[in-house]
Amino acid sequence: MTEQPLPSVVPPGERARFSLTVNGDEMVVEAEARRSLADVLREECGLTGTHLGCEHGVCGACTVLLDGRPVRSCLMLGVQAGGAAITTVEGLADGPAADAAYHPVQQAMHDAHGFQCGFCSPGFLLTAAAYLERRPDATRDDVREELSGNLCRCTGYASIIDGVLVALDRQEEQA
Ligand code: FES
Ligand code: FES
């Protein structure tokens, strides 16, 4: 029996043209249709703050916000984000705290010495920034659980959780 080739959903080499809003800037991207959103952001948009660790959805280093919600940009195609608003770590400081040098989570993490090498930090920062908006009443255990999908090889996590709690406390003081 002759083996039939599997149907290809995205033929190799096929290119796609789509628009994205990235960190508030509207842009039209032309890229191979099979490219992940992470690759599109890094290679077509030049935003290398989105890091790639495992490239299969485990480590969370590639997390970006898609219409305000954290997603793993290694697990979706760039074309699937067509029409959406993406926030990468490069756009975080221009978000809710436009007057601040850093986003409050960035500042809190800096003050709490949250990170070491920083490879995991973009994913943690974006996950935490979205969480703080959604759960201003979160406890330490809540934060630990929310961040459990992001991996860090350096810190042992305590300092990262401390940083998010500093941001939560400051948020509460300003409320
Ligand atoms: Fe996307 Fe690890 S690189 S989850
Ligand atoms: Fe190095 Fe998290 S600070 S991987």
Q: How far is the CA of 94 from the centre of ligand 1 (A)?
A: 24
Record the pTM. Answer: 0.91
Q: Using DSSP, state whether 114 is helix, strand or coil.
A: coil
Cβ 93 vs Cβ 106: under 8 Å:
yes
Q: Give CA–CA dist 126/139, Å, rounded.
A: 18
Q: What is the DSSP letter of 44?
A: I
Atom of ligand 1 nearest to the CA of 58: 4
> Which residue type sits at 11?
P
Å from CA of 160 to ligand 2 middle: 10
**What does the mean pLDDT of the chain come to?**
92
- Predicted confidence at residue 153, as pLDDT, reads 97
Tokens of 145: 């659980």
pLDDT band at 23 (very low <50, low <70, confident <90, very high): very high
pLDDT of residue 80: 95
pLDDT class of 2 with cuts at 50, 70, 90: low
